[in-house]
Structure 1
Amino acid sequence: MTVVPRIVGFSLLLTSLAVAQTAPEPADSVSTDWIQKFDGDWTTISRSPDQSVTYKGSMTSRRIGDRWVVNEFRTNMGGFHCHAQQTLGVDQKRNVFTATWVDNALDFKWDYEGTLDETQKQLVFVAEGPSMSVKGATARFREIYEFRHADRIATTSQILTDDGNWKTFMSGEMIRKQPDAPIVKPSAAPLLMFEGEAERAMKFYVSVFPDSGIEKVLKYVEGENGKAGSIKHAAFRVAGTRLLCIDSPVDHQFEFTPSVSLFVDCESKQQVESIFKKLADGGNVLMPLDDYGFSTRFGWVTDSFGVSWQLNFGELK
C-alpha cells in the first residue's frame, strides 16, 4: 500500500477542507460569520481512530476583509515537520464555502467546497485528492468541523471506501489559545523601614508634600510575628513618587543614614522653604537653604524620623 503523506498531514493538522461523495445541499445562506470564527491562534490536536497516535500543532488564522481568512498550520508528525497554508472564504453567488490548500509534502494544490449541515453546527467540506492506498488514483474525502463553541472545534476526517461507506481515519479538535497574562514589568520604589513609627511618618510626609497620598496599608494582627497594629506593608505617594514603608518586626542595630536621600525638586522658592521648615522641625539640618553655586536654592535635612531629604529649587548647574 502506498501512503501519500499529503493526505495524512492534511487531516492530522485538522486543516483539511476535505470531502464527500457528493457535496451537501447548500444552506439557504452562506454567512461570512462562519469564516470569521476561525480568526485567531489555535492549538491543533489530531488522533488516530484507536487514539494510539496523537499529534499536536498550531494554526494561526488571520482575516482578509470579511470574506476570507488565511490559515497557517505547523506540526511535527513523528519527525516530519509539516507546514501548510490554507485560504478559506465564501462564494455567495454559488452559496458555498471555498478553500485552497498547499503544503510542503506534495506539489498538489487542493480545491474545496463546503456547506453547513441541517443543524447549522457542522461545516462540511468535500474534495477529490490523491488516494491514500492506490498510487496515481484519486479518492473522495470529507472533513467535518463541528463548532462546539467559539473557542473549540471538533473535527472528523473521513475517506469514501470502495463499498460506499465513509471511514474515519483521523479525529481531533482545535482549541483557541487564550491571551497570555500581561507581562509585569519590574519596578523600583524606595522602601523605608521604621521601628513602630511607619504610619506616623507616612501621614506626616503626605501632609508636607503636594501630589501625595496613601495608597495601601496592611497591618499586623494578633498572632503574627509583628506587633499588632504596626505597619506590615504600606504604599504611599510623595510628590508624585511611590514609596513603600514597613515597621520592622525585630529590633535592629542600624538607622537611616544621610548617604541615601530622597531628592525633591520644588516648584517655587516659597514651596522649598515651606517644605524645608517642616522637615527640619525636630530634625537635623545638614545644609541650610542657600545658593551653593550648583543650585540657587538648595537644602539638605534629616527629619525627626531620621530620613534624609535633599530639596532643590531651580536648575542644577
Structure 2
Amino acid sequence: MKSHNVSLLSQTKQAAFATLMMAGLTISPLVTAQEAVATIQAVSEGRMMKGQLDGFSNEDKHKQIEKLKLNAKQQIITKKDFVSRDDRIAAYQQGQLSPPDLSVVKPQTMTANTKVTIDRTQVQQAQQSVIGYRDFAIFEAYSRLFDDLDQDGFYQTFSVTFDADVYGYTLNEPANVYAEMYLSRNGGPWEHYYTTDVFTIYGQSEDDDFEVLTTLSQGYQTDFYDVLIDLYEYGYPEVVATLSADESDGLYALALESHDRDVVYEQEIVEEVVIVGGGSLSWGALFLLIAGLFSRRATNGK
C-alpha cells in the first residue's frame, strides 16, 4: 500500500509539472512580448517659437530636460495603441484616433510681423469652409542632441524644430495644425513617439517654428535613428504634409540611446601591494637563489 501511494504521488507530481511546463510554454511568449512593448518610453514636450523667443532657451534647456526625466519616472508605463505609422494613419482615417483637444490650448497670438491678434477658436471658425482644401508643407527641420553621460557618442535627449507653412487664399492666412512624430531605428519601421498640441501657423511666416524636446527614458537601443514628421490640419483626418530623413539631413541618423543605457560605470582600480617579509624568510629565499645558481653552474661545467 505504501509503495502504491508513493507511486501515485510521483505520478501526480509529474502531471502537475507537465501542466506547469505547458502553461509556461503557452503564456511566457505573450508576457515577454507585452513586456518588450511596455518597456519602450519617451517623454516629450513641444513649444511654439516666435523668432526663437518662446522656444527652449539654452539656459532653460537643462531644467526642462530634468523635468522630462522626472515626469518619465512618475509615469506608469502602459502598452501604446497604434504605435506604427501605418496604423496611426489608418486610425485617424477611420475615426479611431481623435486629434488633440483644441479647447485646452491657450489662445495663440499671431507672430510679431503680422501685427494682428487672433485666438485659436476664431481661427477654427474662420477656416471651417476651407479645411482640407489648402496646401501645406514642412519647409525645413533640424535637430539637436543633449545629454551623453557615458560619453560614448550616443545621446538620451534630443530636440526637433520644424517650420510648417500653409498656402491659403490670403496673406498670412492662419491654420490650426498638429504633428505626429516618429522614430525609425537604423532604417526600420516608423514608430510613434509623440503627438504635439494644436498650434497655429500663419502662411509662410518664418516666425512660427515648433520645437519638440524629447528624452528617451527606456527601451531604445544604442543606434542611429531617423525622424519623420506628419502634419495634420485640425479637423481633417488625412496627413497634409510630411518631412523625414529622406528629405532633410537634420532628421537623419541621430545617435540616440535611452536613459537606462546611458549609464556611467565607475571603474574600480585595485592596487596590488606585495609585501616582502624580513628575517628568516628573506635569508631563506636568498639561500635558495644562491643554491640554484651554483647548481646551474655545476650542470654547465659538466
TM-score, normalising length: structure 1 = 0.24
TM-score, normalising length: structure 2 = 0.25
Larger radius of gyration: 1
Kindly indicate whether structure 1 or structure 2 has the higher relative contact order, using CA contacts under 8 Å at least 6 residues apart. Answer: 2
